[in-house]
Chain A
Amino acid sequence: KNEVEQSPQNLTAQEGEFITINCSYSVGISALHWLQQHPGGGIVSLFMLSSGKKKHGRLIATINIQEKHSSLHITASHPRDSAVYICAVTWGAGSYQLTFGKGTKLSVIP
């Protein structure tokens, strides 16, 4: 079964720290998504990438297709970054549904 694994499951950081969340997947994909889930439950798309690197503000997402691995980095973390960060993939071959990882719960302490 095609799987998406994330690590760590939980992460606590001090405000200002550099944060890395990792995602690995079992077989080739067409695209990888990073999403943010707020405490109230809503899901927001942060990045969608199939190669290389993308940056938006303090967030950076990278993907290594050969290694089947992606990372989400947050620079100068802030308490408002506290949320669950989810990696999801589309496997391609005519399938566009998202397969989700379990998420990483990030808590940034002032």
Chain B
Amino acid sequence: EPEVTQTPSHQVTQMGQEVILRCVPISNHLYFYWYRQILGQKVEFLVSFYNNEISEKSEIFDDQFSVERPDGSNFTLKIRSTKLEDSAMYFCASSDRETLYNEQFFGPGTRLTVL
């Protein structure tokens, strides 16, 4: 069964460093999402992406964040200068449509730890 994959599973970085989180969405999906979950808190929307541009973004997704689909398979989230509060689990999701019935398929997550 097709699935969304994410790498790495765990990333440890120093405050101020740049990190790139990688996702491979399901191959025929066209809509991509990043969510994050700070430990003990609810999952929060960061950004959605379609047709090589951002569709929606939340207040969390400030200038320190960027997304890219560098080739036909990968979807990346970059954090330019990490802060302690960026420590969280980051989930990538994809769907094949943006309609009323928008089932999103989630990857296993990347746990980011900022020291």
Which positions in A face B, CB cutoff 8 Å?
30-31, 33, 35, 40-45, 48, 50, 86, 88, 90, 92, 95-103
Interface majority SS on A: helix, strand, loop or mixed? strand
User: A97 and B101 in contact (CB under 8 A), knowing A42-B108, A44-B106, A102-B42?
Assistant: no
How many angstroms between the C-alpha atoms of A5 and B19 in the bound complex? 33
Residues of B within 8 A of A42 (CB): 106, 108-109
How many angstroms between the C-alpha atoms of A59 and B53 in the bound complex? 37
Nearest-Cβ distance from residue A35 to partner chain B, whole angstroms: 8
Stretch touching chain A among B22-30, B43-51, B64-72, B79-87: B43-51
| Range class of the B interface residue count | 20 to 34
Please determine whether B106 and A45 come into contact, CB atoms closer than 8 angstroms. Answer: yes
Residues of B within 8 A of A99 (CB): 45
User: A41 and B48 in contact (CB under 8 A), knowing A48-B101, A95-B56?
Assistant: no
User: A96 and B105 in contact (CB under 8 A), knowing A43-B91, A103-B42?
Assistant: no
